[in-house]
């Protein structure tokens, strides 16, 4: 919020812009990069949930009581010695994280726009 230029608010108020309109036209566009960064960190933090402390450090109890997460599954499979399945699960966790981040950050719109324009290269 400190990075937003105060002169923009002054000029907007001189032009008759209200506080709500100033928020949506000046403040939000000015801090869009920060918002995207914080959303990405929130998604990564949400995917790293590791609720072992809630179930007395027993991953089996977490899955039995419906508290299992993908990160906990990777831990359980690694603990049992199935490293191939743990690696595949970790890669799927990475793909899910990248997908969520790209959708939230506007990548879905770009993919949709690209797919819509693929067949229109040689149109008169």
Crossing angle, helix 70-79 and helix 83-104, to 10 degrees?
160
| Residue with the larger pLDDT of the pair 120 and 17 | 17
Tell me if 61 is assigned to some domain: yes
Q: Which domain holds residue 87?
A: 47-120
Sign for the CA dihedral angle at 10, 12, 16, 18 comes to negative
What pTM, to 2 d.p., does this model score? 0.56
Average pLDDT, the chain: 79
Residue 7 lies in a domain: no
pLDDT in tens, 67-92: 778 888 888 899 899 999 999 999 99
Q: Which of these ranges, 66-70, 93-97, 103-107, has the smallest mean pLDDT?
A: 103-107
How far apart CA 99 and CA 55 sit, in angstroms, is: 30
User: Is residue 58 assigned to a domain?
Assistant: yes
Is the predicted pLDDT of residue 54 greater than 70, yes or no?
A: no
Does residue 8 fall inside a structural domain? no
Residue 83 lies in a domain: yes
The reply to whether 67 falls in a domain is: yes
How many structural domains are present in the chain?
A: 1
Residue 29: predicted pLDDT: 80
């Amino acid at each position: 919020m400190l990075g937003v230029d105060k002169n923009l608010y002054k000029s907007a108020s001189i032009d008759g812009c209200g506080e709500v309109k100033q928020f949506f036209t000046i403040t939000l566009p000015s801090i869009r990069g920060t918002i995207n960064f914080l959303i990405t960190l929130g998604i990564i933090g949400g995917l790293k949930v590791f609720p072992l402390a809630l179930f007395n450090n027993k991953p089996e109890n977490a899955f039995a009581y419906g508290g299992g997460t993908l990160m906990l599954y990777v831990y359980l499979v690694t603990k049992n010695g199935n490293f191939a399945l743990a690696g595949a699960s970790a890669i799927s966790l990475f793909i899910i994280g990248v997908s969520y981040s790209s959708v939230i950050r506007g990548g879905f719109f770009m993919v949709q726009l690209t797919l819509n324009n693929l067949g229109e290269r040689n149109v008169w």
